[in-house]
Amino acid sequence: MTSLHSIRSATIAAAITAAVGVLCIVGGLQLPFHYAGSIGPAWLPLVIGILLIVCAIAYWIGAVRADEAITWTDRSGWLTIGGIYVAFIAFLVVANLTFFALGAFVFIVLFLTAVNSYSIVKRFVIALLSAGAIHVVFVMLLELPLPGARW
C-alpha cells in the first residue's frame, strides 16, 4: 500500500501539472481556431493542455494504485520537476512575447538543463535545430501560424 506521504506528493505533482494544462487551454481559447481555411494556432495549446490533464490524472491514479511507496531519496527529484515546470513556464512567456520558435528554443535548453542531459554545447545545438525545424515545417512549409506575438 502506498504511504500517505507518497500520495500527497503525487497529488501535488498531478495538481500542478493539471493546473498548467488548464492554463494552456485558457490561453488557447483566446487564439483563432481557423486561419486561412485551415486549422488555426488555438489547437496546439489546446491539445497540449488536454494531454497535460490526461497525464496528470493517469499519473495520480498510478501513484495511488501502486503497491510500493514512491520515495524521493533526496531533493534532486523535486528540483528536476521544478526545473521542468520553470522551462515550460518560460516557454509560455517567451513564445507569447516573441515568437513560438524562440520559446521552443528556450524550453528545450532549460528542459535539457533540468534533466541534466548532454553538454551545454549539445543542448544549444539540439535546441537550435529543433526550433528551426519547428519554424520551417509549420510556418514555412505548412503555412500554419503558431501562437506568439505578431511583429
Over range 100-114, report the average pLDDT: 91
Got the DSSP string for the chain? ---HHHHHHHHHHHHHHHHHHHHHHHHHTTS-SEETTEE-TTHHHHHHHHHHHHHHHHHHHHHHH-SS----SSTHHHHHHHHHHHHHHHHHHHHHHS-HHHHHHHHHHHHHHHTT-S-HHHHHHHHHHHHHHHIIIIIIIS-PPPSS---
Do 148 and 99 touch, CB atoms closer than 8 A? Answer: yes
Same domain, residue pair 79 and 65: no
Same domain, residue pair 87 and 145: yes
Same domain, residue pair 77 and 101: yes
Last residue of a domain, one of 53, 71, 89: 71
The per-residue pLDDT for range 12-49, each reduced to its tens digit, is 888 988 998 999 899 889 888 887 777 777 888 899 89
Same domain, residue pair 119 and 147: yes
Same domain, residue pair 76 and 141: yes
Same domain, residue pair 138 and 85: yes
Last residue of a domain, one of 71, 101, 125: 71
d(CA 138, CA 39): 12
Last residue of a domain, one of 50, 71, 92: 71
Between 100-114 and 120-134, two packed helices, what is the crossing angle to 10 degrees?
Answer: 150
Which domain range does residue 14 map to? 1-71
The per-residue pLDDT for range 1-14, each reduced to its tens digit, is 445 566 777 888 88
Same domain, residue pair 130 and 149: yes
According to the model, what pLDDT value does residue 27 have?
87
The per-residue pLDDT for range 108-137, each reduced to its tens digit, is 999 999 888 889 999 999 999 999 998 888
Same domain, residue pair 107 and 120: yes
The per-residue pLDDT for range 46-79, each reduced to its tens digit, is 998 999 999 999 988 888 887 555 565 567 777 8
Query: What total number of domains does the chain contain?
Result: 2
Same domain, residue pair 60 and 11: yes
pTM of the predicted model as reported, rounded to 2 decimal places: 0.63
Same domain, residue pair 151 and 77: yes
